Chains A and B, each alone.
Chain A
Amino acid sequence: MSVVMTLLKRDLAALMPGSSRGNSLLPLLFFLAVAMLFPFAVGPDAELLGATGGGMIWVAALLAAILPLDRLLAPDLESGFFDQWALRGVTEEVIVAVRLLAHWLSFGPFILLASFPASALLGIDGATLHTVLLGLLAGTPGLAAIGIIISAVTVGLRSGGAALSGLLMIPLAVPLLIFGAGALSTGGEGGLALTGAISLVLVAIAPFAGGAAIRATREG
């Protein structure tokens, strides 16, 4: 247990916004910037903004989750951390599971909070915001899980890993987006439940998929 806590503490120090490792507030600011610029691009039609704003928040959340992917796992693999963990019997699955939690904590709660100012900027009403928040709560763990799997799969690539991980993330995130943002138009709880279900499946497989990908990189 203490090993997990030690790992989590290090991961949070590295990934949290404003931490010593120099991880920036960029994903969060990026999210807010999209919400801020969208009304300028679409025009001040309150009805249109209210109807599309919830979906816009979802797209902005997805893009904000992509930003930290290239330094999620690669630095630790390059500097030999995974080798030293392996020799100590700390499995890649445990590392990836802890990193997944830290990755979600570093953007999920902040995006939920930032949804309040974003909804004001987009003119979204209270009921819609409620659905958006529930959807993001159910969906962001899934986004984090997709992110860490892709990060592990592309970790062995010498260059272009960041661009590729962004491209890979988008099709995989489509189901989450369809049900999460789709709950806005139907107003139903079915979409939210499906978003949560997809998230749970992704979170459950991420440590094993990620761990296997990291071991495969080592063999090369």
Chain B
Amino acid sequence: MEPCRLAASDLACRRGDRVLFSGLAFALETGEACHVTGPNGIGKSSLIRILSGLMRPFAGEVTHTGSMGLVDERLALDEHLPLGKALGFWERIDRCSDASGAIAAMQIAHLLDVPVRYLSTGQRKRAAIARLLNSGRRIWLLDEPLNGLDTQAKGAVEALVAQHCGGGGIALVASHQDFAVPDIRKLHLPDFIA
């Protein structure tokens, strides 16, 4: 697989009239994982949205090589549909021919007939991560991926991230919880408070 890269230089983020962080710079090369830490409201989610190109930074720039995938608090699955059909929509968009691996990895096979609106917080998170797996994206941007997950699912997500990076991908994880992946880099956001 071709190498991928995610880099930011002199990045600043402003929300309203408050500058959340500034002077943020990092570069992630193929196979690297990074854990963004910091208390609530420090700008972790904003950083993820800036990196994904959904929000313009106040200053600085982001460069990336490779396709990006996002998991955040918004599920983007049709609430009234059974989970299997709701995921099926994205499988067709992503041209994913075999979703069984992701469904097994996140242990959601028994939920495929359940309408999305009846799923719990943790089950929703599992579904979002299954979609990310199916999308075949090279750069993973995960915003609080462990929220609502039980210990066993937490371990599974950490293993998936390790496996993804082992296969030459990049993962950037914003979480206030510990994220146990070997050789994960740390980015402590409060160090960049303006």
C-alpha gap A22/B81 in the complex (Å) = 11
Question: Which residues on A sit within 8 Å (CB–CB) of B52?
Answer: 83, 87
B94 and A88: CB pair below 8 A?
A: yes
Question: Which residues on A sit within 8 Å (CB–CB) of B76?
Answer: 79-81, 83-84
One digit per residue, 1 when the CB lies within 8 angstroms of any chain A CB and 0 when it does not, for chain B 90-116 equals 101111000000000000000000000
A47 at the interface (CB under 8 A from B): no
Stretch at the interface among B22-30, B35-43, B67-75: B67-75
B74 and A79: CB pair below 8 A?
A: yes
Question: Which residues on B sit within 8 Å (CB–CB) of A10?
Answer: 78, 89
Stretch at the interface among B1-9, B53-61, B151-159, B175-183: B53-61
B74 and A83: CB pair below 8 A?
A: yes
B185 at the interface (CB under 8 A from A): no
C-alpha gap A31/B87 in the complex (Å) = 36
B55 and A83: CB pair below 8 A?
A: no
Provide the main secondary structure of the chain B interface: loop
C-alpha gap A219/B53 in the complex (Å) = 11
B56 and A20: CB pair below 8 A?
A: no
In the assembled complex, the CB of B14 is this many whole angstroms from the nearest CB of chain A, namely: 12
Question: Which residues on A sit within 8 Å (CB–CB) of B150?
Answer: none
Contacts A79-B76, A81-B76, A88-B93; A219 near B70 (Cβ below 8 A): no
In the assembled complex, the CB of B143 is this many whole angstroms from the nearest CB of chain A, namely: 11
Listed A/B pairs (22) with beta-carbon separation below 8 Å: A2-B95, A6-B93, A7-B93, A10-B78, A10-B89, A20-B80, A22-B80, A79-B75, A79-B79, A80-B72, A80-B75, A80-B76, A81-B76, A83-B70, A83-B72, A86-B54, A87-B69, A88-B135, A218-B54, A218-B55, A219-B55, A219-B56
With contacts A2-B92, A6-B93, A219-B56 known, what are 4 further pairs, Cβ within 8 A? A14-B78, A84-B76, A87-B69, A218-B55
